[in-house]
Amino acid sequence: MSTHVLVLGAGMVGVSTALALQQRGHHVTLVDRNARCLETSYGNAGIIQREAVRPYGFPREWRAILRVASGRGNEAHYHLGGLPGIALRLARYWAHSAPAAYAPIAEAYERLIAHCLTEHARWMDECGAQDLVSRNGWLQSYRTPAVWHAAAAEALRVADRAGLDCAVLDGAALAAAQPALQAPMAGAIHWKDAWSVSEPAELVERYAALFVKKGGVVLVGDARTLRQQGRGWAVDTASGSVDAEHAVLALGPWSDQATRALGYKLPLFVKRGYHRHYRRGATLALPMLDMEQGVMLAPMKRGIRITTGAEFAPLDAPSTPVQLHRAEQSTRSLLDLGEPVEAQPWRGARPCTVDMKPVIGAAARHRGLWFNFGHAHQGFTLGPVCGRLLAELMSGETPIVDPEPYSPARF
C-alpha cells in the first residue's frame, strides 16, 4: 500500500532509505537541515567495507586502555569533562565487547555487511556513479614486524571464515603497491573485496539526484519540529509544514536528541572524528590505514584525506584536533604530504550504540514512527542495505535479513 513518508536526514542512510521506499511505491519527502551533504557522510574515508564483518569493539586489554587514557595512543582521544555524561554507556559498550557478548553481535553485523556491495551497486548503476568508484580494495599497514605478523594471522583467519579475499604483503610488496611511500614499513594486509569512492559526499548527492529524478522531493527543514499531527507526522521546512502518515528518523549523531525529545532513552553516544585534505604532494595508489598511528590516508579528488580515530566528547563541544595534528606529523615521515587544503579541519561525529549494531525498525510507542540510525563507523557502507531493510519492514515484505538483532525493542 502506497503511503507518504517523511525521511529526516539526508546522509547516506537517509538517502538510501528514501530510494528504497520510493522503489516500493511510497511517496517520499526527504528533509535535511542542509541543502548539500555536509555531515557524517561527507567526512568519512570513502570506503565501502565489505571486509568489515567485525564491528569496532571497546579495547579489552588494559595496556591498550591505559595507552589511550595516558594520551600516548592516537587511535582515541577524550574530553575529560565529557566522560561523566557518557560513562554508563561506555561501560555498556565495554561489556558488549567481551568475547561471549561480542560473538553474536558480530554474526548479526556480518549479515548486513554481506549485502553492502550488491545494494550499493544497484544505486550506482542507476545514477551512473561508476566514475567515482575503485574496486581495488585498501591496505591495513603496520610499522612493527611483530604487530604486523600477529595482525596478518588474525586477518587470514577472519577472511577464511567469512569468505573474504585478502593478501598479506611484506615490506617490499607494500612498497611496490604504494610507490609514494618514502620510508619502509613492516607490511600490510590488502583487503581486496572493498570498494573506495573518490568523493563520498558526491556519491550521496548522486543518489539524492536519482531520488529526485524518480519523483522524490528534497526539502530543507528542521527535524526538531517533528510532531504528531492527527494520525500522522508533520515537520516544518523552508517550503512550509509537510505532513505524512509515517516518519523515519535517519539523523545519525543527532538521533539521540531527536529520540529523547519524543520520550525514548536509547543507549546512544557519538565518536567524533576529524579530516583534512592535503595536495601538491605525493598520491597513493590505494587507501591505507596506518594502524599503529591511528590514521587513515585516503586518496580523494581534493588530495589525500587524512581521517582520525575516535574522539569521545560531547557532540557540540569545541574542536580539539589533537589526533589530526599527530596524524599529520606521523604521515610526513612516510609521504610527501603537501599542504593542507582547508584552513581548518573538518569535524564530524559517528552515531554509535552500546551493542555496536544499528537501530532499525518501528518505534515502540508512536504509530508511524521508524528508526534507522546508530551505524557507527559504517553508515557509508551500510546505508543501502539498511535502507532496504527498513523499507521492507514498512512495506510488509520478507526482509533481506532477520531484523530482530537491530530492533529498537532490544533496548
DSSP string, 379-392: HHHHHHHHHHHHHH
The whole-number pLDDT of residue 36 equals 80
φ and ψ at residue 339, rounded to 5 degrees? -100, 155
Between 10-14, 63-67, 115-119, 235-239, the lowest mean confidence (pLDDT) is in 63-67
Position 367 pLDDT exceeds 80: yes
Q: Residue 292 corresponds to which cell in the numbers above? A: 599503529
Hunting for cell 539524492 — which residue is that? Answer: 208
Q: Residue 356 corresponds to which cell in the numbers above? A: 555496536
Query: What global pTM score does this model have?
Result: 0.96
Q: What kind of architecture, by CATH, is found in domain 67-98+132-197+268-353?
A: 2-Layer Sandwich (3.30)
User: What percent of the chain is predicted at pLDDT more than 70?
Assistant: 100
Question: Cα–Cα distance between 49 and 362 in angstroms, integer?
Answer: 27
Q: Average pLDDT for residues 211-224, to the nearest whole number? A: 97
Enumerate the β-bridge partners of residue 308.
Answer: 295
Q: pLDDT: is 266 or 61 the higher one? A: 266
Question: Cα–Cα distance between 347 and 370 in angstroms, integer?
Answer: 28
The whole-number pLDDT of residue 1 equals 60
Q: Average pLDDT for residues 130-141, to the nearest whole number? A: 98
Q: Average pLDDT for residues 308-333, to the nearest whole number? A: 95
Question: Cα–Cα distance between 363 and 15 in angstroms, integer?
Answer: 20
- Express the helix, strand and coil content of the chain in percent, nearest 5 each: 40, 25, 35
Q: Residue 373 corresponds to which cell in the numbers above? A: 540510525
Residue 191 burial class via C-beta count within 10 angstroms: exposed 0-12, middle 13-18, buried 19 and up: buried
Position 93 pLDDT exceeds 90: yes
What's the chain's average pLDDT? 95
Hunting for cell 580523494 — which residue is that? Answer: 300
The whole-number pLDDT of residue 72 equals 76
Structural domain spans, the chain: 4-43+201-266+355-410, 67-98+132-197+268-353
Q: Which CATH class is domain 4-43+201-266+355-410?
A: alpha beta
pLDDT tens for each residue of 63-92: 777 877 777 778 899 999 999 999 999 999
Q: Average pLDDT for residues 18-25, to the nearest whole number? A: 98
Q: Average pLDDT for residues 202-217, to the nearest whole number? A: 97
**Neighbouring residues of 393: CB distance < 8 A, sequence distance ≥ 6:** 360, 361, 362, 370, 399, 403
Position 282 pLDDT exceeds 90: no
pLDDT confidence band for 406 (50 / 70 / 90): very high
DSSP string, 337-368: --EESSSS-EEEEEEEETTS--EEEE-SSSTT
